[in-house]
Amino acid sequence: MLKRLLQVLSAPVDRDATSPVDRIPLAAAVLLLEVAHADGEFHAAEEELVGVLLKEHFSVDDGLLGELLELAEETRHNSSDLHQFTREINKAFSQPEKEQIIEAVWQLVYADGRLDHFEEALMRQLGTLIGLSHRQLIEAKLRVAKK
């Protein structure tokens, strides 16, 4: 499975055989892990929440979650930017769906009970990369902060 996910991610985007359903969970996992590591710490609560968010928002099966996270971590370490991952999300999701995704990422940011300035800067960057306005980003943040 790990090899298959790696092949899917590295395959050309315009190839008919490439299913965005396979690419999207990996892109989302990389983004979630990047945010989780933004403050220099990766807490157990964040690790657990990454799995929950992938299952809830991206329909990742329990049996594949470990392999997906392993590949996402490896991909995150070998990647120089977030554009390739946000591009996948931009292609696959509508604006309201992107707002739901960013809300899920805000949940992860607040998993450790605080907002680090590195996390906040990364969230602004992610919001811009997936085409959300500053207002949409802040509204999602406030919805999560109220919970």
pLDDT tens for 13-68 read 443 343 333 678 888 899 999 999 988 888 888 889 999 999 988 889 888 899 89
Q: State both tokens at 98.
A: 């992107």
Q: Which of 131, 127, 83, 90 is nearest to 106 (CA)?
A: 127
Q: What is the pLDDT of residue 15?
A: 36
Which CATH code is given to the segment(s) 22-146?
A: 1.10.3680.10
Percent of the chain with pLDDT over 90: 32
Residues 6+ apart with CB under 8 A from 6: 71
- How many other C-beta atoms lie within 10 A of the C-beta of residue 69? 20
CB 58 within 8 A of CB 28: yes
Residue scoring higher pLDDT (113 or 140): 140
* pTM of the entire predicted model: 0.76
Alpha carbon distance 88, 24 (integer Å) = 6
pLDDT of residue 11 exceeding 60: no
Q: What is the pLDDT of residue 40?
A: 87
Residues 6+ apart with CB under 8 A from 130: 86, 89, 90, 98, 101, 102
Q: What is the pLDDT of residue 63?
A: 87
Q: What is the pLDDT of residue 42?
A: 87
Query: For the chain, which residues make up each domain, given as ranges?
Result: 22-146
pLDDT averaged over every residue in the chain: 82
Per-residue pLDDT band for 79 (boundaries 50, 70, 90) equals: confident
Give CA 112 to chain center in angstroms. 17
118-126 average pLDDT score: 91
